[in-house]
Structure 1
Amino acid sequence: MEKTEVFQSYKNYMKDRINVYMFFRDVFFVKPSEDILDKIKSIYLDNINSEDIFNWEEPLFELSKMLNQDNNINLDELKAEYTYLFVGPKQIPAPIFESVYMSNKRMLFTDTTINVRKDYQRSGIEVVRKNQIPDDHLAYELEFMYYLAYKIEENITDEQLESVFLKASKSFLENHLLKWVPQFCENVQKHAESEFYKKVCTSLIKFLQFDIEVLV
């Protein structure tokens, strides 16, 4: 593959990862909706005759196939599972905040939360409800990666691959997401009853590992 082709492939990936991060953000921010299920269903329908999918996409492809073949998916049960896994009110099997995993006492609003907030601020953004929902909620961290991905794609040129936003992406993956999401996903695998969040979490961790390898 020639250098120009490699570069174009890289640019295409930079563009595609914008939608990937926003998809994962939507999955974990609120309880599942018909819209989310339709997006996942489209993965199988759009790639049914394609063998060209990434390793991290395979769990989503399998989930999409399952959703398309099962017309009795109970959305209310998926919503209940979201509450059980991530919200409570009982003991939460898979807390969705980074600080819980970085604190021996499993606390919220720790120094980890403040460090995440500082990373956001250095890139010019902040959480609107930062004193109500901790900044280190998984969905917020994924949305931050979406924002950085958008800024990378917006500023990338034929002469310049590197950018402050790309450096920020790599740093945030290394210092935050990849330090706690593996344990979070392990908890989901252990406690989820349906395949929905198991497949999504498997895809998420594989994507984060893939992304850190691709970023130059």
Structure 2
Amino acid sequence: MRLTKRKGKGSAMSENEGTARSVDASEAAELRDEMRARANMYAFFSKVFLREFDDEELARLGSSDAVPPLNERMADGSRRLARAVQVGGIDYRTRLAVEYARIFLSAGISEGTAAVPFESVYTSEDHLVMQDARDDVVALYRRHGLDVEPRLHTPEDHLGFEMEFLSTLAARSAEALSAGDDAAFAELARVQLGFLEGHVLNWIGDLAEDVEECAKDDFYPALMQIVIGYAELDVQNLRCLLE
């Protein structure tokens, strides 16, 4: 975990927040499984942007069904990802490590486009890190009892941390359902919907365009397609839950 629980802090919840509706046992069990699946998916997305893949993970991603094709964008990204891995060759992991550093860390790039995965860079007027978006997500993380590990020395609005935050809240949503706390579940859904709309989908389309321009391989552009497709679908589903 790169997002850690703050000492003495838990998730924030007001008694009057959320728009709860009661669910029966079978619906709660189905929703709980869905929330756990969401937590796993966002945890995977977090890893995409925070570290390189090992050989075992790459082998799994080479399967055409490694990522569920839940919508057209995800299906296209999944096919593109599988093809990239299948034709990558025996030294593919090494080449992807170079690709990761060049795309996301701007290694070896002296001019031109860079795909820097920080929300502030894409939402601030001067395209700088550590701007309002970073301050906003720090406040939101802390409201839910979380902090980014200081030893990482990385701004908190990194897309990997934002994905991990969503994973954490999805896991808490499953816990709320297990406890029969419909109000807590509804409030967590509301927070996740707002975060996706206000801190993820507001900028990752632009990031994806830069990744596409920087990349020499389809691997990371395909993953960006999958992330965007999943986030768009998740927004639709969360809206339905809160109706």
Query: Is the TM value for this pair above 0.5?
Result: yes
The aligned residue for residue 44 of structure 1 is 64
State the TM-score, normalizing by the size of structure 1: 0.84
Match of 2:174 in 1: 153
Distance in 2, matches of 1:77 and 1:131, equals 25
Q: Does 1:107 align with 2:156?
A: no
Q: Give matches, 1:53-92, under 5 Å.
A: 53-55=69-71, 57-58=74-75, 59-64=77-82, 66-68=84-86, 71-72=89-90, 74-89=92-107, 90=109, 91=111
Q: Would the alpha carbon gap of residues 69 and 193 (structure 1) be closer, same or farther in structure 2, given more than 3 Å must change?
A: closer
Whole-angstrom distance in 1 between the partners of 2:160 and 2:231: 14
Question: Greater relative contact order (Cα 8 A, min sep 6): structure 1 or 2?
Answer: 2
Which structure features the higher share of helix residues?
Answer: 1
TM-score for both structures, normalised by structure 2: 0.76
Structure 1 counterpart of 2:104, one-letter code: F
The residue that corresponds to 2:42 in the other structure is 21
Hey, which bits of structure 1, 4+ residues long, moved more than 6 A?
3-6
Structure 1 residue 83: Cα displacement = 1.0
Cα distance, 1:164 vs structure 2 = 2.5
Q: Report Cα offsets for 1:26-62 as digits up to 9, x if no partner.
A: 1110133224313423x53679xxxx84125422244
Q: In the superposition, relative to structure 1, how do residues 94 and 46 fare at CA in structure 2: closer, same or farther (>3 Å)?
A: closer
Q: Gaps (5+ residues) in structure 2? A: 1-23
> What is the count of residue pairs matched by the alignment?
209
Q: Which runs of 5+ in 1 are unaligned?
A: none
* More displaced 10-residue stretch of structure 1: 102-111 or 89-98: 89-98
1:146 CA drift (Å): 0.6
Taking a change above 3 Å as real, the CA distance of residues 11 and 65 of structure 1, as seen in their structure-2 partners, is farther
Preserved CA contact (<8 Å) 2:47 2:160: yes
| In structure 1, C-alpha distance between the alignment counterparts of 2:152 and 2:126, rounded to whole Å | 20
Pairing 1:180-199 to 2, within 5 Å after superposition: 180-199=203-222
| Aligned residues: CA RMSD | 2.6
Q: Which moved more, 1:11-20 or 1:172-181?
A: 11-20
Q: Which amino acid aligns with 1:164?
A: E
2:38 and 2:56 mapped to 1: Cα distance? 20
Q: Per-residue displacement from partner, 1:98-131 (whole Å, max 9, x unpaired)?
A: 0000112111111211111001001110111278
1:129: which partner in 2?
150
Residue from 189, 193, 207 that aligns with 1:170: 193
What percent of counterpart residues are identical? 25
* 1:194-216, Cα deviation, whole Å (9 max, x unpaired): 11011100011000000011112
Structure 1 window deviating more from structure 2 (206-215 vs 4-13): it is 4-13
Cα–Cα, structure 1 residues 201 and 53, in superposed 2: closer, same or farther, change >3 Å? closer
Distance 1:163 1:151, change over 3 A: same
Check whether the contact 1:31–1:83 (CA below 8 A) recurs between aligned residues: no
